[in-house]
Chains A and B, each alone.
Chain A
Amino acid sequence: MSGQSNYNPKTGIEKWLDARLPIIRLGVDTMIFPSPRNLNYWWTFGAILAVMLVSQLITGIILAMHYVPHPDMAFDSVQHINRNINWGWMLQPMHAVGASMMFLAVYIHMFRGIYYGSAKNPREMIWIVGMVIYLLMMATGFMGYVLPWGQMSIWGAIVITNLFSAIPPEAAGTAVTQWLWGGFAVDGPTLNRFFSLHYLLPFLIVGMVILHIWALHIPSNNNPTGISIKTKADTLNFHPYYTVKDAFAIVVFLMIFSYFLFFKPDSMGHPDNFIPANPYSTPAHIVPEWYYLPFYAILRAVPDKLMGVVAMFASIGVLFALPWLDTSKVRSMRYRPLAKQFFFLFVLVCLGLGWAGAKLPSDLVFATGVDADGHEVGLTFVWMSRILTIYYFAFFLVILPILGLVEKPKPRPASIEASVLGTDKGDN
């Protein structure tokens, strides 16, 4: 929103309103602003996420009309929604599958930001606000998964709230966990407050999304070349060009969403969550939802309890510092031959951590032989997690800072316009 406005009220009513509450002007100037003309499909995930957020809000508010946040009734009320409520069979999975789809979109959105240097100067605040949104999403998703009060719900809640017991008791670790639980264990009071907070946090996300988009309107979008906008010839107005491109991507994304919703609604969940919660019987293998698995693998990679929790939170915290850890003056990794390779390895490492998080730590990735008792030995998932965790942190704390200093980038085009039209192979 660089000063001048694109809105020109024509009718008397519009002029009257614009002098009193310039809300149409706000809307027009939000949608009609110059964007780089070369945005590719990786840039559509912001709009996809906006659609998913609205979808989650609508289905969530509807589910809250039928759900009962009581330990004796929560499990049955979710079954009641699925079996008896009109359209409940669709609305409840729409919310549950929608959460998975939203995380899928947010991970692509974040990887895109890392690859094209979207976090870097002058977009640090967009990235940081985005990371706050991601943290709020994780908290919301976690509490939402607890609400059906199945075995994975309660045991997920027990394991995650116990992360705070890594704080030594003399430093209020016990007091903090009992405060979170509202008792001596995860129970009814915990469920009830999680329901309350699960309803609240999405509205905080909406507020943060407004800040995210506001901050985006100051420098405008980054783009695949990472080169700043220099002239009007580098840009297209967001509406109609990118509203249409985003709309197409949204339709494709909704088709994928629909496939899972209508044909595989339970594929993202865990069968144990169809067993009502039992605080006296731990399932043999507790796993979080798929979108937390990489962090769960990092938690389990560290043999010490407190340090494991610290490593897990640090793996998210380090993302906040990304704008300053990536020291290269070139934004887009398209022109960074080394960074590009380390980036794709980083993506594989994140997927590998997710795989390790889904397995028992002692399971074997592959066997190398047989020990004296006839048991297979080889690389266990806990050791794979350790190796991948080291790369995860090294990527941010060692590789990105050093690469920016030693890497020789390839020549960049003279401008966004030149890169689109192919008229210039400049080397600025």
Chain B
Amino acid sequence: MSTPVESDEPTRRDFIHIASGTAVVAGAGFLAWPLIDQMNPSADTLSLATIEFDVSSLEEGAQVVAKWRGKPVFIRYRTAAEIEEARSLDVSVLKDKQTDSERLVPGPDGKLKPQYLVAVGICTHLGCVPLFDPKDTKGGEYGGWFCPCHGSHYDNSGRIRKGPAPTNLVVPPYWYMSDTVIQIGKEASV
């Protein structure tokens, strides 16, 4: 019997091994993706993505909590003193540097409505709902919100001032459909 000649050249058999191995790995990858992706938010969850809210129902100094995508959204009617306090802050002291104006969206007339602050009511640390906390009511030090879980203090613009949270309260995408109605979950189409 003749033995195959030893050679460093790849053989037809090597080619078949590599090609079939590649096909198996790629096929396993294609098969794995549906098994992984099924855990992502489903179509009905995604379809509940926007809500509308009439801010004219708010009283000055108060906040309401709207529910959006299973999360609380704070909508707060700030007093003139609170707005002044938020605007006068030197942003260089902040962990997550944002001016108050950068956290607002303009109304239909193109001007900001600084009295209405909208923010997702979930502490950016580990997801608790911070307590609404105008100055000296619940122990928060900056007149915004205070998270009882791990002690994060936010100011009335929702900016992190003290505590373990890494970033400011998230401003959700929203826009003024009219002078008094906002839609949360969608940005103004320019």
Contact = CB atoms under 8 A, between A and B. Distances in A.
B40 A282 contact: no
Interface stretch (A99-107, A182-190, A201-209, A342-350): A182-190
Contact of A184 (B69, B125, B147, B164): B69
Contacts of B119: none
B134 to A, nearest CB: 18
A185 B128 contact: no
A281 B132 CA distance: 12
Given A282-B148, A286-B128, A300-B150, A178 B65 contact: no
B166 interface: yes
B88 interface: no
A159 B164 contact: no
A72 interface: no
Interface stretch (A219-227, A301-309, A416-424): A301-309
Interface in B129-173: 129, 147-151, 164-166
Contacts of A279: 70-72
A284 B42 CA distance: 32
Contacts of B124: 305
A308 B45 CA distance: 32
B42 A189 contact: yes
A180 interface: yes
Contacts of A153: none
A362 interface: yes
B27 interface: no
B39 interface: yes
Given A158-B127, A178-B40, A305-B125, A280 B65 contact: yes
A85 B53 CA distance: 45
B126 A183 contact: no
Given A162-B126, A303-B164, A305-B125, A183 B149 contact: no
A184 B41 contact: yes
B41 A182 contact: yes
Contacts of A180: 39
B40 to A, nearest CB: 5
A46 interface: no
Contacts of A282: 128-129, 147-149
B67 interface: yes
Give the most central of B39, B125, B127, B151: most A CB within 10 Å. Answer: B127
B36 to A, nearest CB: 8
Contacts of B166: 304-306
Interface size class of B (residues with CB under 8 A): 20 to 34
A155 interface: yes
A184 B45 contact: yes
Contacts of A184: 41, 45, 69-71
Given A282-B148, A300-B150, A155 B40 contact: no
A361 interface: yes
B41 A178 contact: yes
A260 to B, nearest CB: 28
Interface string A149-190: 000000100110111010000000000001111111111010
Interface in B28-63: 36, 39-42, 45
Contacts of B65: 280
Contacts of A193: 39
A346 B124 CA distance: 33
Nearest to B41: A183
Nearest to A185: B70
Contact of B45 (A155, A183, A284): A183
Given A159-B126, A162-B126, A189 B45 contact: yes
B11 to A, nearest CB: 39
Given A183-B70, A184-B71, A361 B150 contact: yes
Interface in B91-140: 122, 124-129
A179 B45 contact: no
A285 interface: yes
A280 B74 CA distance: 11
Contact of A281 (B71, B129, B165): B129
Contacts of B42: 182-183, 189
A182 B129 CA distance: 20
Contact of A362 (B41, B147, B151): B151
Contacts of B127: 158-159, 161-162, 165
A244 to B, nearest CB: 47
Give the most central of A285, A300, A305, A361: most B CB within 10 Å. Answer: A305
Contacts of A185: 69-71, 122
B151 A361 contact: yes
A280 B72 contact: yes
B170 to A, nearest CB: 10
Nearest to A160: B126
Interface of A: 155, 158-159, 161-163, 165, 178-187, 189, 193, 279-282, 284-286, 300, 303-306, 308, 361-362
> Top 9 closest A-B pairs, CB basis?
A185-B70, A184-B69, A162-B127, A282-B128, A162-B126, A158-B127, A159-B126, A282-B129, A305-B166
5 contacts: A179-B40, A184-B70, A185-B70, A279-B71, A362-B151
Interface of B: 36, 39-42, 45, 65, 67, 69-72, 122, 124-129, 147-151, 164-166
Given A183-B70, A184-B45, A282-B147, 4 more contacts: A158-B127, A179-B36, A182-B45, A185-B71
